[in-house]
Homo-oligomer: A and B are copies of this chain.
C-alpha cells in the first residue's frame, strides 16, 4: 500500500506564548473581541462571519437549546444521578440523542432544498415532485409536520422572518417556501414547516457547512442539558421518574 500523503490541520497551533486559531491570535484577536457564535462560525468554516451570519447562527442556537423534558434531557438526568462526579458524561449521554428521529432530519431537509435549487426543470416542478414522492411512499417529509405545534410551528415563521430582515441571499428560504406551497397542494391540507426545516434553510442561507449542520444542534443542546443538570442537582427529579417507570411499565411474563 502506498504511503498516504501526510495530512495537515488548518485549525490551530500553539507556541510557548501564543495560541493561534485559524491564523488569528487567540489572546489578542479573539478573546474579548468575538462572541461565542462568531468564534464557532470561524472555528468551523475558517471565515469570519458577517453580522447577519452571526445573528442568524445565534437565532438558530437560541431556538434549539431547550424544549422541556425531552428524551435527551431524561437520559442526561438519569446519568447525572448515576455518576454525579462526571458532569461531562451526563451531557454526552443526552447528546447521543441528537440523532435521526428528532434533529437529524435537518440534514435530509437541506438536501431537499439543494435538490430544488439545482433542478434543471425548475424549482416549482421539482418541489411538487418531491412532495408527491414522499406522499406516495408515505414517508415523513423532512422539515415538515410537528406532532404538537399545529397548525404552525411558531419558531419557523420567526426564523424565516429574521433571515429576511438580515437580507440573506434568500435562495434557501425561497426553496423552502416553494416546497411548502407544493406540500399543501399535494397533501390537500396545510402541513407546517417545522423548526428543523426552517433551521435547515437559515443555516443554508448563512453558508453553514451542511455536512456538520447537526453539530449546531449538538452545541446548543449541550448548553440546555447543563441547565437541567443544575436543576437536577438542586431539585432532583430523576429518581421520581425512575420510580414512575418501574411502576407504570410493569413486568409481564412472555418474551418480547
Chain A interface (Cβ < 8 Å from any Cβ of B): 1, 4, 6-14, 16-23, 26-28, 30-32, 34-37, 39-40, 43-47, 55, 57-59, 61-63, 65-72, 74-75, 78-79, 81-93, 95-102, 104, 147-150, 152, 154-155, 158-159, 162, 165, 209, 211-212, 214-216, 218-220, 222-224, 226-231, 233-246, 248-256
Other than the given A9-B237, A31-B162, A91-B218, 9 more pairs (CB < 8 A) read A10-B256, A11-B68, A11-B256, A40-B65, A72-B82, A75-B79, A84-B100, A88-B214, A95-B222
A58 touches B35 (CB 8 A): yes
Alpha-carbon distance A16/B150, docked complex (angstroms): 6
B251 touches A12 (CB 8 A): yes
Closest CB of chain B to A148's CB: distance in Å?
Answer: 7
B17 touches A154 (CB 8 A): yes
A236 touches B18 (CB 8 A): no
B240 touches A249 (CB 8 A): yes
Alpha-carbon distance A255/B45, docked complex (angstroms): 7
Closest CB of chain B to A76's CB: distance in Å?
Answer: 8
Alpha-carbon distance A86/B89, docked complex (angstroms): 9
Which residues of the partner chain B approach A71 to less than 8 Å between Cβ atoms? 78-79, 81-82, 238, 242
B241 touches A68 (CB 8 A): no
User: Known: A31-B159, A242-B74. Contact between A8 and B98, CB under 8 A?
Assistant: no
Indicate which residue in B70, B95, B256 contacts A230 across the interface (CB closer than 8 Å). Answer: B256
Alpha-carbon distance A21/B83, docked complex (angstroms): 25
Closest CB of chain B to A245's CB: distance in Å?
Answer: 5
Which residues of the partner chain B approach A148 to less than 8 Å between Cβ atoms? 14, 16
Which residues of the partner chain B approach A245 to less than 8 Å between Cβ atoms? 69, 74, 237, 241, 244
5 A-B contact pairs sorted by A residue (CB < 8 Å): A9-B237, A11-B68, A89-B89, A89-B92, A91-B95
* Top 4 A-B pairs, shortest CB-CB distance: A83-B99, A46-B255, A82-B97, A215-B226
